[in-house]
Structure 1
Amino acid sequence: MFDKVLVANRGEIAVRVMRACEELGIDTVAVYSDADRNAGHVRYADEAYNVGPARAADSYLDQEAIVDAAEKAGADAIHPGYGFLAENADFAAKVEAADSVTWIGPTSDSMEQLGEKTKARKVMRGADVPIVPGTTDPVTDPEEVHEFGEEHGYPIAIKAEGGGGGRGMKVVRTEDEVEEQFESARREGEAYFDNDSVYLERYLERPRHIEVQIIADQHGNVRHLGERDCSLQRRHQKVIEEGPSPALSDALREEIGEAARQGVKASEYVNAGTVEFLVEDGEFFFLEVNTRIQVEHCVTEELTGIDIVKWQIQVAEGEELDFAQDDVELEGHAMEFRINAENAAEDFAPARGGTLDVYDPPGGIGVRLDDALRQGDDLVTDYDSMIAKLIVHGSNREECLTRGRRALAEYDIEGVVTIIPFHRVMLEDEAFVSGEHTTKYLDEHLDEERVAEAQEKWGSTEASSDDEEPVEREFTVEVNGKRFEVNLEERGEAATVPANANSGGQKPKPAGGSGGNGETVVDAEGETVSAEMQGTILDVRVEEGDEIQPGDVVCVLEAMKMENDVVASRGGTVTQVAVSEGESVDMGDVLVVVD
């Protein structure tokens, strides 16, 4: 058994992995950015190491820093969780090449073969698994998109090879959109996955999104653990997942499960993974393989009683699966609700900050909470918006829905806005309750008025302003990048720690914009266009002197795993461009000045 595992992730998934390690008698190591000094996963771990600034590219995506932390800590394995470097074959290879460190996941070769979509399509087609009509080689020129449209018609999905969850995917509905969407998909692929290769698929208009959980060991055993239905999505981002799917017959369920198992077996895949399918009009098509643990793996664990994360660790150690395919049974029904710090009444805008003044999660039979935050924690907005996952289990779907309504009503959060009111609306929504929704349902039929009413009725209150000075304060001190906690008692004025008091500390950000690189000086007259959230500038669409109209896109901002067009509210002449491509910005930073 491993002695010590470094978890190369943050938040609730890091805590989830650490809990599995704890039950297996394994010590845990956390890594954290400057923004996550006081994060829940850091508190939970046995030890923790700073790996860089808040920007993910300089911390959680810094491969050298993470491997170096593992070596400093004496960890003998690395678990990547999901997101960040979890599906990065180069990082897996780097860990595999490190002395005395084991990669907990599929091999780098398998990740390259199945993690890149065109290669995975070839593998599945070779295993007689149905695939959506599309290309099996990367597309490098917009002209190829035009040719595909002439042959197969529109709409067309342009997808990043390393993408997933809607990231790096653009839908082309007419030939006039080809060039813009082609470049946008490549840009997202490069920004998120360091891979600008894209491929094409026929875009299915109203499919169900079905995924099959698999686990495979080093002894040639491959098991599927049933399916999950992830059809309730907003802009290709899942919000509620459930299993088994209410849309599948028993015969189709068995056929899809076996197809997933055979496809993975043909690739000689090892460890946990998910094979995703689109189902429409009784037909199913292979979509992609996720070569990692999924956010919604908890649904399958509740249905089967199998701890997938533990098996990831045990398989990496060479253990053989101790259950046969016929032993896998799905008991009852389970649902997972993503508790995102977003305001569903404002187009799901991510929270800009806040403190958990009240955090009182639900409990009782059939209720599971995967989280990392606790009451009094500040919300970190530098990464994705998910702060917890609520999973409920019942003897059937009706009881599961009832239990979900009860648990969501019990979930008391104040100080940070969440989408709990949205979830409560969905559990009264006729299409969802009857199981008739598709992946397009929320984008086309969401009752925004009902959501606004729910937010007003059940929404979290704003963060309170409490000027009372605490008697005792906890500080973080770093020595050679390793985290230690120190408690100091205050007397009189609030205690402070100088910015340079620790070796890995985060220095104060200068006032103004420019992403902390220095104060933005607005030396032009006119109306400023500012960032509405923290993120990274992916593209600047204007130059000084350009004439623009109201609604024109001035730049593209990546935030919360999505591209966001920043538009001008008024027309005029661009008198100053205060940002450049690749620059990190904070909420309120000036981007462009228009006169």
Structure 2
Amino acid sequence: MITSVLVANRGEIACRIVRTCRELGIRTVTVHSDADENALHARVADATVRLPGAAPAETYLRADLIVKAALDAGADAIHPGYGFLSENPAFARAVLDAGLVWIGPPPEAIEAMASKTRAKKLMGLEALPLHKVTEDDLPVLVKAAAGGGGRGMRVVRDLAALEDELTAARAEALSAFGDGEVFVEPYVEGGRHVEVQILADSHGTVWPLGTRDCSLQRRHQKVVEEAPAPGLTSELTDSLYAMAVRAARAVDYVGAGTVEFLVSGDTAHFLEMNTRLQVEHPVTEAVFGVDLVALQIRVAEGCALEALENDPPRAQGHAIEARLYAEDPAHAWAPQTGTLHRLTVPDGVRLDTGYADGDPIGVHYDPMLAKVVAHAPTRAEALRKLAAALERADIHGPTTNRDLLVRSLRHEEFTTARMDTGFYDRHLPALTGSAPDPYAPLAAALAAAHGRSRFGGWRNLPSQPQVKRYAVAGEEHEVHYQHTRQGLTAEGVRVVRATSDLVILEVDGVQRRFEVSRYGDQVHVNNTTLTALPRFPDPTAHHAPGSLLAPMPGTVVRVAEGLSEGAQVEEGQPLLWLEAMKMEHRITAPATGTLTALHAVPGRQVQVGALLAVVQAPL
């Protein structure tokens, strides 16, 4: 019996594993980098061990330090979570060689599936259908052989761009995974990403635990997942189950894993096998009523699945998961940093997170804040429940993708299950273009005015309206209000009530409530985030036309080959790349002209707003 587990991970998945271990009566140990010293996963475990440094290569990717931490802390097993070392066969062997229990598949199974190119060859021998590239297969997808999460992936629609995209993909894959091998496969327009959850024991039993659809993706990373995958025929579902079981048996798989397919119509092709727990595993747990982490632990202890149940559990209802990211979808999905002041969701949905109120969101790791999961008897009910929960959630801090998620879940193409992996390519502008609540700046101003009114805001003599300025979604709003005998009045709207944290306005005979929270210059009014502006703009806050400013804090990883001051550049030409929160972000020329200044140097860390370069357009 396992008595103590070290979780070789961080953030949301580490907290989630700790939660199950506590329910099973198992002691927990976590590891933390210096950047994560006060992170939630370091606080909730029974013990935690420091990994000196901040970069993943120095910390969460150091197999030797993690095994030593487990031994020093008295753990007898290691759970790798997902990402980092979870699919590293050398790490699995090191855990076993140290006499510890590895809560995962055998190293040989991980190794067989670790490279997508080797995995495809192996599955071809098992007669699983594969995509094959021909000269006429444009567009194609360039993919990293050793990793996932959208890194090292490029869609190429023009043959002339293939060589440059191969070079870029190799560089990103090498940086992210330490392996620059890439391969090319056909890119299927309108394809769906469908996967099968499997669970296998060491006694020869393999359970297929339903399908999941993960087609809503940005930058080849999943955003919304659901179980079961909607719209599949029973014949196709049975075929996917059979192929997933065959793939597991081909490598003598043990534990939880996922076999991924590209589905087009009634045809499915093998993509890859993830030899670990998936980020989206909660939707399967909700539908089948199981705890996959608990089952992983029992399988690692040698338990036979048939000893738990004679048959695989049966699916009940529908579950949908949305990944909440600290990012700005309207501006190239730029990751955001800062303090997460508050994160709460209504009762009735599941929240998996690695953050607590007041925690900082840094630059070193993935920008995912949480996963919100809704389960209901039908897909339509689960959709409605999840969209409403996200809409009513309190998310105070940096910009997030919350509004995008709500609009995605209510989009006709998604509600009718006609989505595919190109959903955001088609609909992103419409999904990010909605205006914020027009009464939010007024509510913010009235709440601020209430605080001052306690010190004598009303005067017997008539006075000019007070003015406050706010920035909302890049636009400036000026609000006028007055203190009168009747209380606060504002812009023809009846103020029913105004306190420092609650404003009630009557608009066209309907009373509306606005909850107001302040954190320095940042004001949250219901779902709208505002920034209080000084009454008079700072005349020194100015950059020359054509200035390229860092859209996020990060590290300059590359500058375009041969680029130097004085070079002629074209509008949209890639100039440099920033790495932030595990993703590379391309910075392009804002106009055709001359590069008059280049301040970006590979390896240099920059803050948001830092001047990277200047491109001067012809007069």
> Secondary structure of the residue that 2:68 maps to in structure 1?
helix
Q: 1:572 to 1:374 in 2, by over 3 A?
A: same
Measured against aligned partners, the alpha-carbon deviations of 1:6-61 in whole angstroms (never above 9, x if no partner) come to: 11111111011111111221111111112212111111111111112222222222
Counterpart CA distance in 2 for 1:573 and 1:448 is 33
1:538 aligned partner: 557
User: 2:582 matched to 1:561?
Assistant: yes
For 1:99-138, list aligned pairs within 5 A: 99-134=98-133
TM-score by length of 2: 0.78
Distance apart, 1:592 and its partner CA = 4.7
Aligned 1:189-588 pairs, distance under 5 A: 189-322=173-306, 326-356=311-341, 358-364=342-348, 367-448=349-430, 451-453=433-435, 464-465=519-520, 529-541=548-560, 542-549=562-569, 550-569=571-590, 571-573=593-595, 576-580=598-602, 582=603, 584-588=605-609
Secondary structure of the structure 2 residue equivalent to 1:301: helix
User: RCO (CA 8 Å, sep 6+): is it higher in 1 or 2?
Assistant: 1
Partners of 2:82 and 2:277 within 8 A in 1: yes
- Distance in 2 (CA, whole Å) between partners of 1:454 and 1:561 is 30
Q: 1:102 to 1:554 in 2, by over 3 A?
A: same
Query: In the comparison of the two structures, how many residue pairs are matched?
Result: 518
Task: Give the distance between the partners of 2:107 and 2:613, measured in 1 at CA.
Answer: 43
Q: Is the 8 A contact 1:535 1:557 kept in 2?
A: yes
Instruction: Give secondary structure in 1 for the equivalent of 2:146.
Output: strand
Distance in 2, matches of 1:327 and 1:94, equals: 32
Q: Return the alpha-carbon distance in structure 2 between the equivalents of residues 123 and 31 of structure 1.
A: 35
Cα 1:210–1:461 change in 2 (3 A) is farther
2:407–2:431 contact (8 Å) kept in structure 1: no
Mapped to 1, the partners of 2:151 and 2:302 lie a distance apart of 34
Quick one: distance in 2 between partners of 1:162 and 1:9?
Answer: 19
Q: Which amino acid aligns with 1:562?
A: M
**Which moved further from structure 2: 272-281 or 68-77?**
68-77
Query: Structure 1: how far apart are the matches of 2:439 and 2:222?
Result: 24
Gaps of 5+ in 2: 441-472, 474-514, 523-543
CA displacement at 1:245 relative to structure 2: 1.3
Give per-residue Cα distances to partners, 1:521-563, cap 9 Å, x unaligned: xxxx998644332334332214444513254322122223332
CA contact (8 A) 1:531 1:588 kept: yes
Structure-2 change in CA distance of 1:454 and 1:106 (3 Å): farther
Contact 1:303 1:331 in 2 (8 A): yes
Q: CA deviation at 1:585?
A: 4.4
Residue 536 of structure 2 is matched in structure 1 by: none
1:592, 1:325 → 2: CA distance?
A: 65
CA contact (8 A) 1:5 1:76 kept: yes
Q: CA RMSD in A?
A: 2.6
Give the number of the structure whose alpha-carbon radius of gyration is greater.
Answer: 2
User: For residue 21 of structure 1, what is the amino acid of its counterpart?
Assistant: C
Query: How is 1:52-201 mapped onto 2 (pairs within 5 angstroms)?
Result: 52-97=52-97, 99-134=98-133, 148=134, 150=135, 152-201=136-185
For residues 463 and 326 of structure 1, do their structure 2 counterparts lie closer, same or farther at Cα, with a shift above 3 Å needed?
Answer: same
Q: Residue deviations 1:181-204, cap 9 Å, x none? A: 111121121111111111221211
Cα separation, 2, equivalents of 1:294 and 1:561: 18
Contact 2:144 2:169 in 1 (8 A): yes
How far residue 455 of structure 1 moved from its aligned partner, in angstroms, is 8.3
The one-letter amino acid of 1:427's match is L
Cα deviation for residue 454 of structure 1 reads 5.8
Q: 1:461 to 1:55 in 2, by over 3 A?
A: farther
Partner of 1:539, secondary structure, is strand
How far, CA to CA, are the matches of 2:242 and 2:379 in structure 1? 24
Q: Which letter maps to 1:438? A: D
Contact 2:339 2:397 in 1 (8 A): yes
Deviations 1:280-322 (A, max 9, x none): 0210000111111111000000011121111112222222113
Contact residue 415 and residue 462 of structure 1 kept, 8 A:
no
Larger CA deviation: 85-94 vs 73-82? 85-94
Compared CA separation, residues 252 and 463, structure 1 to 2 (3 A): farther
Q: Residue deviations 1:148-182, cap 9 Å, x none?
A: 5x2x4311222111122322112222220121011
Local SS of the residue matching 1:300: helix
Shift of 1:91: 2.2
Matches of 2:430 and 2:321, distance apart in 1: 22
Q: Distance in 1 between matches of 2:94 and 2:610?
A: 37
The 3 A distance-change label for structure 1 pair 443 and 60 is same
Q: Which is further off, 318-327 or 18-27?
A: 318-327
* Identity within the alignment, %: 43
> Corresponding residue for 1:473?
none
1:376-426 per-residue CA deviation (whole Å, 9 max, x = no partner) reads 222233211111111100011121122113322331122232222112212
What residue in structure 2 maps to residue 470 of structure 1? none
Kindly indicate whether the alpha-carbon contact (under 8 Å) linking 1:53 and 1:59 is maintained by their aligned counterparts in 2. yes
Instruction: Give the Cα separation in 2 of the matches to 1:527 and 1:536.
Output: 21
Secondary structure of the residue aligned to 2:359 is coil
**Contact 2:330/2:429, CA 8 A, preserved across alignment:** no
Partners of 2:334 and 2:552 within 8 A in 1: no
**Residues of 2 paired with 1:87 and 1:298: CA distance?**
20
Q: Does the 8 A contact of 2:559 with 2:600 survive in 1?
A: no
TM-score of the two chains, using structure 1 as the length reference: 0.81
